[in-house]
Structure formats: C-alpha cells, structure tokens
Amino acid sequence: MASDAQTTTEYIKHHLQNLTYGQHADGSWGVAHDAAEAKAMGFWAIHLDTMFWSILLGAVFLWGFRKAAQRASAQTPKGFLNFVEWIVEFVDDNVRGSFSHKSDLVAPLALTLFVWVLLMNTMDLVPVDWIPQIAHLMGIEYMKVVPTTDPNATFGMALGVFVLTLFYSIKIKGVGGFAAELTMQPFQAKNPILKILFVPANFFLEFVSLISKPISLSLRLFGNLFAGEMIFILIALLFSGGAVLAIAGGVLQWAWAVFHILIVLLQAFIFMTLTIVYLEMAHSHH
C-alpha cells in the first residue's frame, strides 16, 4: 500500500527499482541506495532480488518435479502427480508437433523453460506491497519479486537459447552450410557474379533476422510482464485514496489478476514454443 510519506511518483519508482549490488564510486562494493547509485555501478552490477527469486523458483521447480517423479507409478495418478504428468504431456505434445528431428535436449529444455518462466510470471499475481513490506521490515529497501520484469533475466534466458541455436546450426550444417545459409538467401542467382554481388545484401538481411530472435524473445516476455506489473502498481495507489477508492481498487485488482492469468500462461507458452521453433530451424538443412 502506498505510504503517506511517498508521493505517487516516488511510490512507483520505488516498486520498479531492483536491489542492486555493485561497485560504488569510491571503489567499495555494496548495495545501491537509490536508482542513480545503481545506474552508476554500470554493467557489472547484479540485481540481487532477480537472482534470488529466479534461483528460488528454479529450485522449487526441481524439487516439485523430483518429488512427483519419486511418486510416479503404474497406477492412475492423482493430485499433484496428475498435474505434473499433464504438464509433461502438454510440453511433449508441443515438441512432437514443432520439432521433427531427434534430440535428447529439446523436450527437457522446453519443459524447464515453460515451468520456470510460468513460476516467475506467477509472482506478478502476488499483491505488489506484501513482499516488499516484509523485506522493508527486514532492512531491505528494494525488492522486485517478478524476475521476468527485469530485462536482464529475460535477455539472459534468450541469449542461452540463442547460443544453443548457433551451436546446433553449426553442428548440424557445418560452418560452410551455416555460412551459406546466411549469405545465399533470400536473393539467389545461377550467375556466379550475381551470387557474389548478392552476398552482402543476403548477409545483412539474414543477420538482422538472426539477431532479432533473442531480442524479440526477451523483449516480448519482459514487455508483457512489466506492463502487467505497472498496472498492478497503479491500482495499488487507489488503496491510499480513501474507502471508496480502496473498494474500487480491490475490484480492479481482482479483475486485472483474473485477466493477467492468461498473460502469465501465454507468455510462458510463447517463450517455450519459440525456443522449440528456433531449435527446429537450427536442425533443419535449407
């Protein structure tokens, strides 16, 4: 809930600020006390809250699925085991429908990304003041609990997928085949001179298409979740405006949370699906 000591702008900025650790101007290392200090820390600064929640949720995923695997049997699954098997079957069906090659990596990777991103997105449904207020009582000034609203997290996952795409493109097609894929299309010609002339234009177009994959993959996830978080923060401001606005805020918060469930699920699904598609393209000969 917005504090009386904070203006609306300060409240919004506070909720959008990460807990940042890095090197101060005097050479010492520590936690930034404000946005300007965090910005001055530069590239090597670390968002501690993003790291904490993403690792914690990843551990929850591993623990929960390990427990389900230990309880698996030939009998009809029930409860949480049934839910886990449904997710595994859902991901497996998507991999079979989009990936036509043989790989021991794609299905486990797709499952990991889908569940991990889904868990991180779901944190956006936690009321925006609950965890930050608890952190404040513990002496922690800033605490963003939705890792996917941090572009560092989404770009990190997208770059991981991008590296795998490059690796398998070169492994399956060879260096020459991958280079030809970047330089011999979309403009083609039988004349050797025209082929050479088309190389720069083809490379420019294909390079832009290649680089756009991790950028679009990361920004799509970040943009949708950041926008959803911003709306929750704006709705939370209503609770400090009196009883009538507080009731309106409660209704709006509930309505937006119900709608946002679709975004939470959809963005996890899109991230998984695009990863499968990119790896399918990497395994396919042109």
234 domain residue, yes or no: yes
Q: What is the mean pLDDT of residues 269-279?
A: 97
What pLDDT digit, counting tens, does each position of 169-192 carry? Answer: 999 999 999 999 999 888 888 888
Domains identified in the chain, total number: 1
2 domain residue, yes or no: no
231 domain residue, yes or no: yes
Please name the residues in contact with 183: beta carbons below 8 A apart, sequence gap of 6 or more: 199, 202, 203, 206
H and E: helices and strands count for the chain: 9, 3
Please name the residues in contact with 17: beta carbons below 8 A apart, sequence gap of 6 or more: 34, 35, 38, 142, 144
1 domain residue, yes or no: no
* pTM, 2 dp: 0.92
Residue range(s) defining the domain that contains residue 220: 8-283
Q: How far apart are CA 151 and CA 9, in angstroms?
A: 22
Around Cβ 231, how many Cβ atoms within 10 Å? Answer: 16
Q: How far apart are CA 162 and CA 247, in angstroms?
A: 46
3 domain residue, yes or no: no
Band of pLDDT at residue 3, cut at 50, 70 and 90: very low
What pLDDT digit, counting tens, does each position of 232-246 carry? Answer: 999 999 998 888 999
What residues are annotated to the active site? 216, 220, 224
Helix (H) or strand (E) holding 47: strand 46-47
What pLDDT digit, counting tens, does each position of 192-227 carry? Answer: 888 888 999 999 999 999 999 999 999 999 999 999
| CB 110 within 8 Å of CB 91 | yes
